[in-house]
A = this chain, B = another copy of it.
Amino acid sequence: MTSNDGIRLVGFDGDDTLWRSEDYYHAAQADFERILQSYVDLHDARTHERLYAVEMRNLTLFGYGVKSMTLSMVEAAVEITGARISATDLHRIVSLGKELLQHPVELLPGIREAVEAIARDHEIVLITKGDLFHQENKVRQSGLADLFHRIEIVSEKDASTYARVLSEFDLPASRFAMIGNSLRSDIAPVLELGGWGVYMPYHVTWTHETEATVADDAPRLRRVAEPSALPAAVKSLALHAAA
């Protein structure tokens, strides 16, 4: 019995699993705060919390991604400054979004080797959420696209999304493992379906993605600190799955 009798398909998240992402969002939010500081006392204004509140309010309308965040930043800036912000500064906020969209893709150190190693024993699929156009550009730039059997760009990563992807592969969740940095989006819904997970936390995580209830010592879950540890973690899960 080989290790992939148990797990046939391995999914990878994109942002902050294959390539850096949240760092750039954080940098853009710091720039956003610098623009606002000529209008308001930043300590009182709690710009970060207020931007997050506007983003959450808009989530069901905008979905995820840079364009959504940029529109929310414009809205939040008008609110936070009591509409005193200049058109030039609002345009600078739009430009922050444009810079984010143009940022070159930077793979995490060691991820290419890890993806290649896992692809030798399993079919692999990229499952990433957010803006279709931006994610497609990142996949193209990453140089990893050819390694994946399929690339799924989805609007939300919940149990029903994973169930749909698995049905297209005609595979039960018990033969699927997902690798990602978000307990909420990559791990919890897959464990819920009866699948397996490898949680690789990133050094920064968007507040929204921390809202998950999975215990990270769940028996079908491994936790790794860096990409080089991924192949062994998948092998360990696969041995259990095949047992």
User: A: which residues have CB within 8 A of B?
Assistant: 58, 61-64, 67-68, 70-71, 74-75, 77-78, 81, 83-88, 90-91, 94, 97-98, 101-102, 131-134, 136, 153-155
Contacts and interface: CB of A to CB of B under 8 A. Distances in A.
Given A83-B87, A84-B87, A86-B87, A71 B61 contact: no
A182 to B, nearest CB: 18
Given A61-B101, A62-B101, A131-B63, A74 B94 contact: yes
A132 B75 CA distance: 22
Contacts of A62: 67, 101, 133
A118 to B, nearest CB: 24
B91 A75 contact: yes
Contacts of A61: 98, 101-102
Nearest to A72: B94
Contacts of A88: 78, 83
A70 B153 CA distance: 23
Contact of A63 (B83, B97, B132): B132
Nearest to A81: B87
A73 to B, nearest CB: 10
Nearest to A85: B87
B90 A133 contact: no
Contacts of A97: 71
A164 to B, nearest CB: 10
Contact of A83 (B68, B91, B94, B101): B91
Given A67-B68, A78-B88, A83-B86, 9 more contacts: A61-B102, A63-B131, A63-B132, A70-B71, A75-B94, A84-B87, A85-B87, A87-B90, A131-B132
